[in-house]
Structure formats: structure tokens, C-alpha cells
A and B are shown apart, each in its own frame.
Chain A
Amino acid sequence: MSAITFHEDRLEKVMKHPETIEIATAGAPAKARPTPFFETERGRAWLAGAGGLFRRMLPPGIGLVLFALLWHLVAISSDGLPGPASTWEAAKTLFADPFYDNGPNDMGIGWNILNSLYRVGVGFGLAALVGIPAGFLLGRFAFLSGMAAPIISLLRPVSPLAWLPIGLMVFKVAEPASIFVIFISSIWPIILNTAAGVARVPQDYMNVARVLNLSEWKIFTRILFPSVLPHLMTGIRLSIGVAWLVIVAAEMLTGGVGIGFWVWDEWNNLNVEHILIAIFIVGIVGLLLEQTLVLIAKRFNYE
């Protein structure tokens, strides 16, 4: 909801400019007067920028408004599904105090999000720690890749939650078990993309390395690693996406403080507004994670 009002604000602001420009050009007599803002170099650039922004924001703005409308229609014709307005009200109270702490079963939404992010961070971090070197080894040595291929093809399609009982059995406690599930489900994109990147290092670069007779370490730091980095970033992005998908489901089963368990808890309380809010939170956090990684990946694109 907040996103929609924000866009409407923008739209209104931007919509005003065409009128402004008309007034400015129509009232342009020969008399000496300060150049109106929209006729100066900066003004035109600003206007062009605002026009571009308007054109870019228009389709997503309309999309969100229609979505809210549809939601509203479904809500009034259904029994129990809250509409956009009541969800917005609930969100305002919820986010008024995100970091309260009334014991482990009643903590603010902020704590729940942070706990989930922490689990994703640890699970994903371990996956990267193991997956990146593994990917480099598999990409560099065809024999190892051949050895690992059947295992990876067998384990990769397994639903992440199928690992949870194994995790619980091995670790006895819920916390490391859910981290284990994140680890095992997010490691595959890292391994596979890194290995593919290593296998695809242009032969030209390797020829340079051969002519210069570079040491294995120099080949790794100066040629292999920078060349693989874009692929590696793709792997990391996919992997974080998977990790964030899985955490909600894993926490529903294991409990504790976290956005997944919070959803389940609110379902038991029959607080459907909060479930809808949780869906938005999961979506927005996922989007932010993805966009951050896209930004970082851009930094490493040399083409």
C-alpha cells in the first residue's frame, strides 16, 4: 500500500509540469526578464528526466493500483480475507513498534525479520564457503567434475524440506537444522555457476597466461577469479533467492523466532492481516536482497 500512495504522489507532481511549461512559454514576451527555470539548460534536463521517470513509473504504478483494486474486490466478496485498507491499518500498528520483546513467543516483527535474515546469512555463507572452492575445482578438473556430476544431478532436484528430518536427526536441535536446510538447498547454484564460469574462461586469456608462464596462484588471482566473478555473482544471486524462499517453510516447521514461524503463529491466532503483511515483507526483503546483488554484480561486469 505504501508503494501505491508513493507513486500517486509522484504522478501528481510530474503531471503538473506540462501545465507549468505552457505557462512559461506562452508568457514569453520580448521584455528582459530572468529566464524561467524550465527554459534554462538545467530546467530542460530536469524536465526531460522527470518525463522519463514518469514514463517509467506509469506502467508499474497502474499495475499496483489495479492489483490493489482487484484485491479489494476479492476481499469484499469473500468471507474473512482482509482488504488493502484494513491490512494497511494493521501494518501501521505492527511497524509502530517493530522491536519489542515480550519473551521468545512474542517479539516485534523487526526481530522476526532479523532472525530469519541471520539464518539465511549463516546458511548461505556456509554454502558460499564450500560451494565457491568446490565450483572452481570442478570447473578446473574434468575428472572431479565427472565424479561429482551424478551426485549433484541426484541431490539438486530434492525438495529443500526433505532435508529437514536429516538435519534434525544429525543436529538434534531446530536452529542448526534449519541452517543446514538453507545450506544444502542454496549450495547448488553456487557450485554449478562457478564451475560453468571456470569452464568458460576464454581460451585467449589462458593463452596469455601460458605465454607469460604465470604461476597457478597468479593465474587464479589475475585471470581465473576475475573472469569467473560475473558467473559467481549469478550463482550467489540465485542461491540467496533460494535461501530466502526456503527459510519461511523451514521456520514454519521448526518454530523459534523468525518470519516463517511468525506466519504460522498468526495463522493460529487467525490474524489474516498479519499473514498478508508477512507475504509482503517476504516479497520486499527478497526483492531488496536480489537488487543489492544485481548492483554488486554490475560493479564486476567488465564488458
Chain B
Amino acid sequence: MVLPLIFILLLVGGAVLAAQSSINGRLGAKTGIIESAWLTFIMGAVLTFLLMFFFEPVQQATLFSVPKWQLTGALFGVVYMLAIVFAVPRVGTAAATVAVISGQLVMSLLIDHFGWLNNAQLPLGASRYIAMALLLGAIVLLYLSHQRRNRRMAAQPG
């Protein structure tokens, strides 16, 4: 019962991420990379602080008691935001998305396979190899779609 719900949540999360990179790419092109990323994180911090303040059940551990390396996720988030806002106007959304996705996939399979960062170990089985091959195929298709569009654009300027 929980699994389908999680999938719906994940799809919404991904959809939101796509909408966000589209919006932030435009904003960054108009106002600057750091400015756009800064506003995104400030608003995110304000919103999640309010949510946490009113809705978080009390926990044994707090952000101040867990080992510090567990708090370094933000560094990766900031690097990602800066990279996207920098890259989208230069290489196009499709190419940037394909690159992000490749990195995401390889790393996430490594983390699961070895159980890095205190995550449960989920070894790679045959079906996961097939899944990876399918995802690579999908990435190639997206790239081809992008190339064909570029050729069309070059053939008919304006």
C-alpha cells in the first residue's frame, strides 16, 4: 500500500524539479547565477523552517547531535543549483538534463550497491543491469531528439 504512494510522491518530486530548473534557468539568465540560487535557497529555508517549526514531531536526535558529515548534503545541492543555472543557457536544457541524469544514476546505483553513507545495501542484480541499460538507451534517445531538432533549426533559420 505504501509503495504506490511513494512512487506517486517521487513522480511529483521529479516533476517539480523539472519545473524548478526551467524557472530558475530563466531567472538566472536575467539576474545572475548566484542571485537566482541565493533566492531559491533563502525561500526554501524560510518555508521549511516554518513547516518544521509547526509540524515536525519531536525526535530523539537533533541536527546538532548527529555526526557533522551527515549535514554536508547542502554542499552538493548548492553545487548542483549553480551548475544548472550556469549550464542551461549555454548547452540547452535537454543536454544539461541528460548529463545530470547520467551522474545521478551511476552514483545512486553505487550508493545502493555498496550501502555507502549509512544506506541499506541493495546489491545489483540482473534486473537492475537491464534497467540501467534501458535508462542509458532512454538518455541516447533524448540526445537524438535534441540533435534532430538542432538540425531542423539549422536548416530553417528563424
- A and B: interacting chains: no
